[in-house]
Amino acid sequence: MADQRLIDRAHALARLHREHTPLVLPTVWDVWSAKVAVDAGFAALTIGSHPLADSRGAADHEGQTLEEVVAAVAPIVAAVGEQGIPVSVDLEAGYGRAPDEVVAGLLEAGGVGLNIEDTVHSEGGRVRTTAEHADYIAGVRAAADEAGVPVWINGRTDLFLHADDAHAVADEALERLQALVEAGADSVYPVRIQNDDALIERVVAAVSVPVNCTAHPVDHDLARFARLGVGRITFGPLLQSALTDATKQLLVPWA
């Protein structure tokens, strides 16, 4: 039987997505950053693969194993879990593991949401086909259903990220995002569209679920994303990057 606490947190994460347009999920990487975000007033968090890897001296792009990520994520989730804070975890492309293993690892760590991307770094950085990525997302949905926890699935595509001209791949990317929704994704994450208003609006209009945009906490504006219809905001590595810049400014006079 599924842990009722996980079920409750999963329902809370879904409710927050319904109540907020956009829902901002600060991207954290350790217990300290998670507690800071919760103390700042956020009701849900996401753990980013890039900042988590940086905090551990590991490489992003699946430079850690699923087991290593689960072990690193568990204390972060536990630090805010008693407050009922739901946490989503960026699990890259699944670390070469089957969807049921990925879901089992997520739930073991206490997470109730996840990102799954289509760049398979463990296989030379190849990009899954639309059908292959949709099948993987469908496998994640089936595994979550089997586990009895309504895990929030954020289906990510890197087609825009890899393209020289984002608009040239828009049709293919929209087809992929629609396939991910049909496969069971609760939201979609087309990486690197955050600076193009027209592209954001086109993606938002094409899918029936919240669209995730990456934001920089200093350079971007929440009201703009809301006006464009973005349903979900995460920071990726950009919050950690902004804090790095601010920390250097504090420390340089003392060097």
Q: Please give the full DSSP string across 178-194, using - where no structure is assigned.
A: HHHHHHT-SEEEESS-T
Give the homologous superfamily in CATH for domain 4-254.
Phosphoenolpyruvate-binding domains (3.20.20.60)
Instruction: Tell me what the pLDDT averaged over the chain comes to.
Output: 98
Q: What is the tens place of the pLDDT at every residue in 82-108?
A: 999 999 999 999 999 999 999 999 999
pLDDT at 41: 98
Beta strands in the chain (DSSP E): 23-25, 27-28, 45-47, 87-90, 113-116, 119-120, 126-127, 152-157, 187-190, 212-214, 232-234
Nearest to 162 by CA among 188, 114, 127: 127
Q: What is the tens place of the pLDDT at every residue in 169-204?
A: 999 999 999 999 999 999 999 999 999 999 999 999
Structure tokens at 173: 């990317």
Residue type for position 247? T
Measured in whole angstroms, how far is the alpha carbon of residue 222 from the centre of its chain? 18
Q: What is the tens place of the pLDDT at every residue in 198-241?
A: 999 999 999 999 999 999 999 999 999 999 999 999 999 999 99
Is residue 1's pLDDT more than 90?
no
Measured CA to CA, the distance from residue 49 to residue 60 in angstroms comes to 6
180: exposed, middle or buried (Cβ count in 10 Å: 0-12, 13-18, 19+) = buried
Rounded mean pLDDT, 132-147:
98
pLDDT at 44: 98
What are the φ and ψ backbone dihedral angles of 90, each rounded to 5 degrees? -80, 110
pLDDT at 61: 96
Q: What is the tens place of the pLDDT at every residue in 149-170?
A: 999 999 999 999 999 999 999 9
Q: What pTM value is reported for the model?
A: 0.97
Is residue 10's pLDDT more than 90?
yes
Rounded mean pLDDT, 17-35:
98
What are the φ and ψ backbone dihedral angles of 53, each rounded to 5 degrees? -60, -45
